[in-house]
Structure 1
Amino acid sequence: MNNNFNATCNISELFKKTVLKTEPDFIDQSSILNHGISSAGGLGFTAGSGIRPKSVTLTSPILDSDNHIIATAHQQQIHQQQLQLIGSTLSVKVTINNCKKSYLYILVNIAFINISNCHDCIIVLGPCTEYIDIVDSSKITLIAITKSLKIRSSSAISLNLCCNQRPMVTFDCVDVRFAPYNTHYQTLENHLLHSKLLTSMQNNQWNLPQIVDQNGQNVSLDQQQQQTIFKISEPEEFCPFTIPFLIKGKTKVNPIELPPKYKQALIDKQNAVHNLHKLIQSATQDSKTKSNLLHLIESKFQDWLVETDNIRQINDLINLKR
């Protein structure tokens, strides 16, 4: 029986949720039994039939304290007999639709992913060996390493990419922003090894988007028209993204080669933070001054969390760990 198993995930109607999907969510039988995953009765295949499951439905997330993984409380149409065949080359087919105000971390090797009608979401993906398709969405931040990407009928999309082919953007999109890949997780390098995606600068076309029609044919527009559709982020705008989960693995830093200007921008930001730390230390020798400064920093930080709505993600993470 073929060990290159493809699972399919449909993530629907998630509101104000934080979800992390990692490889053990698809391959670990003990997790399946503990979390009450049902059999694939609706698909008409039985143990040993060799027919692959076609969908997984993800609902409310829970914390698997044994494996330090955020899993989901209910997943349908996966059969335990088939899951025993999945190894590190697991290639997942994913559909995300109708998500609002969600934080989705799908940290496995992905064959392809379709994202539709999603709004105000942050989506972080493992390597995508085929393509990412985004349609009818807005206010999305997507962080991914992929072979190819297409965006259709969408607006306010922020992309941090390593992309082996030129990204395609349809002419009806507005305010799509491209920047280099800016994160890592502990098993990323292992996933990249199996994905066979190319990560060097000469193979990374993140900054060469092409404007196309709905059929994928090139559309010629003047520079002013292009700028309403997409922009390349400036190095000064480039910031790292931290995935707020710990996973066992060896990757410690972003393995994707960065353009020199963006790499230097990160170094400058790190130096600025280091200098700020030194300034605070030198200014807080007096206990009263230190107390006042800490109170001010905490107050301003809380204001920033509320103003940017990042307080919602903090609350989600706290609730997931209870």
Structure 2
Amino acid sequence: MAPRSHRIVVMSQVCNQTLAKSSETLVGAHVRAHRCNESFIYLLSPLRSMTIEKCRNSTFVLGPVETALHLHGCENLKVIAVCHRLSVSSTIGCTFHIMTPSRPLILSGNQTVTFAPFHTHYPMLEDHMARTGLATVPNYWDDPMVLGGEGTDTRVFQLLPPSEFYVFVTPFEMEGDTAEIPGGLPPAYQKALAHREQRIHNWQKTVKEARLTKEQRKQFQVLVENKFYEWLVSTGHRQQLDSLVPPPAASNQVAKKDLTWSHGALET
């Protein structure tokens, strides 16, 4: 087996699937994802580096990346990671929820890059951050540097408006002590979440005080569920929820440390 510092893991053509993995194979590895489409990929181990190339319409949730996270030739990705450095080139419509002690580098050929605060956690996250030497401060997620053909044109990127911000739930049970987002959220984003929660509370109070009859409550519940289902379908979240249900043959794997129940080509 190659030394851990030299180990390379390649994922190619993972399509229309959910891949979830936390294993020694990934610890300290250089990982490359190539031509992955319409997928949700969770690599919940401390990584040495991560390269994502020519991937589309997918979500990547990564363990801490000790050195560099680089994207090239990607379209419509959501990437959630703690990393030492992020660089992007030739991407279109990608969103980065990151925590990083270095200014993100926007190289040439990018369009509509969005940056947002890191917004998830999993039980081993802080342990993995310690292993990779990454901390919550400093954090330059919102101060990218535009290089390459765009020069100093800041129009190539935007910061996610707080009104569009939601936390991301990593939907797996693991051992570990991390129970909240390390370092918390920037005040504007925390305020937006609190405001949304207050609106939900007010709505629930209004429904309770409406004194609906049993039949009216039943009709109202059906209406809400139908609207929620329509929202799931229109936003693509229905696909994500469906993909989290493991096939029967893999049900025993979910409780193990290796979380994979569906994967494409995975090579070491």
Question: What is the distance in 1 between the residues matched to 2:33 and 2:207?
Answer: 44
**Distance in 2 of aligned mates of 1:244 and 1:257:** 19
Candidates 57, 65, 69, aligned match of 1:120 = 57
Q: Name the residue aligned to 1:261.
A: 188
**Equivalent in 150, 165, 175 of residue 102 of structure 2:** 165
Q: Distance in 1 between matches of 2:204 and 2:231?
A: 19
Cα deviation 1:255-288 (Å, max 9, x = unaligned) = 1342221222222222222333333333465211
Partner of 2:151: 220
2:266 aligns to what? none
Could you tell me which of 203, 207, 210 is aligned with 2:145?
A: 210
Alpha carbons of structure 1 residues 187 and 277: separation in structure 2 relative to 1, 3 Å: farther
Amino acid at match of 1:315: D
Q: Which runs of 5+ in 2 are unaligned?
A: 252-268
2:7–2:30 Cα contact (<8 Å) kept: yes
Supply the RMSD in Å over aligned alpha carbons: 2.1
Q: Which moved more, 1:132-141 or 1:312-321?
A: 312-321
CA offset digits 1:97-147 (Å, max 9, x no partner): 000001000000011000000000000001111010000000000000011
2:99 maps to 1:99: no
Alignment-mate amino acid for residue 114 of structure 2:
R
Deviation string for 1:50-99 (max 9, x for gaps)? xxxxxxxxxxxxxxxxxxxxxxxxxxxxxxxxxxxxxxxx3121100000
> Does the 8 Å contact 2:4/2:29 carry over to 1?
no
**DSSP-derived class of the 1:159 partner:** strand
Ranked by relative contact order (alpha carbons within 8 Å, sequence separation 6 or more), the top structure is: 2
Whole-angstrom CA distance in 2 between matches of 1:177 and 1:312: 23
- Equivalent in 68, 72, 79 of residue 142 of structure 1: 79
Q: SS state of the match for residue 94, structure 2? A: strand
Alignment pair present for 1:288 and 2:189: no
Q: Name the CA distance, whole Å, in 2 between partners of 1:169 and 1:220.
A: 10
Residue 239 of structure 1, aligned match among 162, 166, 170: 166
Pair 92,274 (structure 1): closer, same or farther in 2 beyond 3 Å: farther
Distance 2:3 2:18 in 1: 31
Which secondary structure state, in structure 2, belongs to the residue aligned with residue 113 of structure 1? strand
1:187 and 1:282 map into 2 onto residues whose CA distance is 43
Against the structure 1 CA distance between its residues 320 and 208, is the aligned structure 2 distance closer, same or farther, given a 3 Å change threshold? farther
In structure 1, distance between residues paired with 2:114 and 2:224: 31
* Greater alpha carbon shift after TM alignment, 205-214 vs 273-282: 273-282
Q: Distance in 2 between matches of 1:179 and 1:319?
A: 30
TM-score by length of 2: 0.86
Task: Please say which of residues 168-177 and 230-239 is displaced more in the overlay.
Answer: 230-239
Check conservation: 1:181, 1:256, Cα contact below 8 A: no
Count of matched residue pairs: 248
Q: CA deviation at 1:238?
A: 1.7
Instruction: Report if the CA contact (8 A) 2:91-2:110 is conserved.
Output: yes
For the Cα contact (< 8 Å) 1:162–1:256, is it kept in 2? no
Matched with 1:154 is 91
Post-superposition offset of 1:205: 0.5
Q: Is the 8 A contact 2:5 2:48 kept in 1?
A: no
Structure 2 residue 35 is matched with structure 1 residue 10 = no
SS of 2:224's partner is: helix
